[in-house]
């Protein structure tokens, strides 16, 4: 191995070792306030991000607070104060759990309303109630929309459509279009078929062919769409208890929810892991782009894999220990909010670089580990 390769390996090892600091200590953000009054529209992630470099660690920031048995029960107007317990920062709510009152003739600044959610639900509501990933063969076997009372193939709210199945009167249904089928990159195994909600309806007349009145539509409903029972509204949870993923093998981004090549902060993406892998809503992952592999030519000059012709030629002529894998590049963090059998939907919470399909997802490290 020549001196250039040795220097590259030494540099990689030094970079890795310099990041190894304790992950147990909460890192307060520079310039953090000593107290904070909760405002309407705040989220738990936002509030923790006011104090912490790693807002996903808010359960640790509040876990020993005797005044907040359930940290979800934080309301607009509450005053949160930063204290230290055994040397560790903690947030406590003043007033023994009572709402914060501004002592002016006008009274409180913000009236007490709904409890503060973990994330802004408006960002994920459509995915919570619409997108599903199901077995492709199973979806193809579900009852089909055959036609509508009005002529034509396209139908919207208020129209009556016909479903080739006998449902009881009053049954609520959702009409789905078939979307993308996802596959495991390594094994080629099908991870499921995306089912895209087109409309919802209710059975008004039962029979071998049921008549269904459309109550809402997200896109035009067409013949050939599949009818499924409405999902349980309990999926619309406002609260996700954040915790680091403990997967033993990396997950990967399998698709963006918008079908675009890249996704950024507050965009949704599909993961290639789900219930079968133990993934749960609220789990947080760090996002990484796999580092490039380089090889050093006979003149001691590094050649990147992106320089395809020269790289392939060198790889064919040199031994495999002449190549070196560069460190993976950090892109941000995401939070899982909906889980299917073999896939999951997640929201990108922080993003330093665009997120793409095949990006690697691992258990999150703190920003301190990355020297930030």
Residue 241 is predicted with a pLDDT of: 75
Is residue 4's pLDDT more than 60?
Answer: no
Residue 38 lies in a domain: yes
Domain that holds residue 91: 32-116
For residue 6, give both structure tokens: 């040795």
State the average pLDDT over residues 218-227.
92
Question: Cα–chain-centroid distance for residue 366?
Answer: 18
Which residue among 116, 148, 171 closes a domain?
116
Same domain, 148 and 97: no
State the average pLDDT over residues 229-240.
60
Is residue 159's pLDDT more than 60?
Answer: yes
Which residue among 235, 257, 283 closes a domain?
235
d(CA 285, CA 364): 5
State the average pLDDT over residues 129-134.
81
Percent of all residues in the chain with a pLDDT value above 70, rounded to a whole number: 71
Residue 304 lies in a domain: no
Same domain, 70 and 54: yes
Same domain, 140 and 179: yes
pLDDT tier at 304, thresholds 50, 70, 90: low
Number of domains observed in the structure of the chain = 3
Residue 62 lies in a domain: yes
pLDDT tens readout for residues 39-58: 888 888 888 888 888 887 87
Residue 242 is predicted with a pLDDT of: 80
Helix (H) or strand (E) holding 10: helix 3-17
Same domain, 226 and 250: no
Is residue 350's pLDDT more than 50?
Answer: yes
Residue 26 lies in a domain: no
Same domain, 187 and 229: yes
Place of tokens 């031994």: 319
Residue 223 is predicted with a pLDDT of: 93
Residue 114 is predicted with a pLDDT of: 66
Residue 280 is predicted with a pLDDT of: 92
Same domain, 251 and 351: yes
pLDDT tier at 310, thresholds 50, 70, 90: low
Same domain, 247 and 358: yes
Same domain, 147 and 222: yes
- Whole-structure pTM value: 0.71
Residue 122 lies in a domain: no
Residue 79 lies in a domain: yes
Same domain, 247 and 355: yes
Same domain, 164 and 185: yes
d(CA 124, CA 194): 16
pLDDT tens readout for residues 55-110: 878 778 876 444 444 555 678 888 888 888 788 888 887 743 344 444 433 333 33
pLDDT tier at 206, thresholds 50, 70, 90: very high
Is the torsion defined by CA of 9, 15, 20, 23 positive or negative? Answer: negative
d(CA 202, CA 184): 36
Residue 73 lies in a domain: yes
Residue 238 is predicted with a pLDDT of: 57
Same domain, 353 and 261: yes
Residue 369 lies in a domain: no
State the average pLDDT over residues 173-189.
92
Is residue 276's pLDDT more than 60?
Answer: yes
Same domain, 169 and 260: no
Is residue 130's pLDDT more than 60?
Answer: yes
Cα torsion at 125, 130, 133, 139 (round to 10°)? 170
For residue 140, give both structure tokens: 């193809």
CA distances for 246 relative to 27, 93, 285, angstroms: 21, 31, 9
Instruction: Check which CATH number belongs to the domain holding 205 and give it.
Output: 2.40.10
Q: Find the angle CA(110)-CA(266)-CA(360) to the nearest 5 degrees.
A: 140
Average pLDDT, the chain: 78
d(CA 48, CA 314): 50
pLDDT tens readout for residues 244-259: 898 989 999 999 988 8
Which residue among 116, 138, 154 closes a domain?
116
């Amino acid at each position: 191995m020549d001196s250039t390769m040795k220097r590259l390996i030494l540099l990689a090892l030094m970079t890795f070792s310099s990041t190894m600091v304790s992950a147990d200590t909460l890192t307060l953000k520079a310039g953090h306030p000593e107290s904070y009054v909760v405002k309407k529209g705040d989220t738990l992630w936002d509030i923790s991000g006011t104090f912490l470099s790693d807002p996903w660690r808010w359960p640790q920031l509040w876990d020993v607070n005797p005044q907040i048995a359930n940290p979800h029960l934080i309301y607009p107007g509450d005053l949160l104060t930063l204290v230290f317990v055994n040397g560790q920062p903690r947030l406590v709510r003043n007033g023994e759990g009572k709402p914060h009152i501004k002592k002016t003739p006008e009274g409180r600044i913000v009236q007490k309303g709904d409890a503060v959610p973990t994330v802004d639900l408006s960002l994920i509501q459509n995915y919570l109630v619409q997108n599903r990933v199901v077995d492709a063969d199973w979806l193809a076997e579900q009852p089909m929309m055959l036609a509508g009372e009005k002529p034509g193939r396209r139908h919207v709210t208020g129209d009556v459509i016909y479903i080739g199945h006998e449902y009881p009167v009053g049954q609520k249904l959702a009409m789905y279009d078939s979307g993308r089928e996802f596959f495991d990159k390594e094994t080629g195994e099908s991870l499921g078929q995306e089912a895209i909600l087109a409309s919802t309806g209710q059975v008004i007349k039962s029979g071998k062919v049921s008549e269904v009145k459309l109550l809402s539509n997200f896109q035009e409903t067409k013949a050939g769409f599949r009818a499924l029972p409405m999902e349980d509204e309990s999926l619309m949870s406002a609260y996700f208890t954040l915790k680091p993923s403990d997967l033993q093998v990396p997950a990967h981004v399998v698709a963006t929810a918008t079908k675009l090549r890249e996704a950024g902060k507050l965009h949704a993406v599909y993961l290639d892991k789900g219930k079968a892998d133990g993934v749960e809503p609220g789990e947080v992952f760090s996002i990484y782009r796999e580092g490039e592999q380089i090889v050093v030519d006979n003149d001691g000059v590094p050649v990147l894999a992106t320089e395809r012709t020269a790289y392939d030629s060198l790889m064919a002529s040199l031994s495999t220990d002449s190549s070196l894998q560069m460190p993976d590049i950090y892109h941000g963090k995401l939070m899982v909010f909906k889980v299917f059998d073999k896939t999951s939907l997640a929201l990108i919470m922080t993003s330093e670089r665009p997120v793409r399909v095949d990006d690697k997802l691992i258990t999150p490290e703190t920003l301190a580990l990355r020297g930030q």
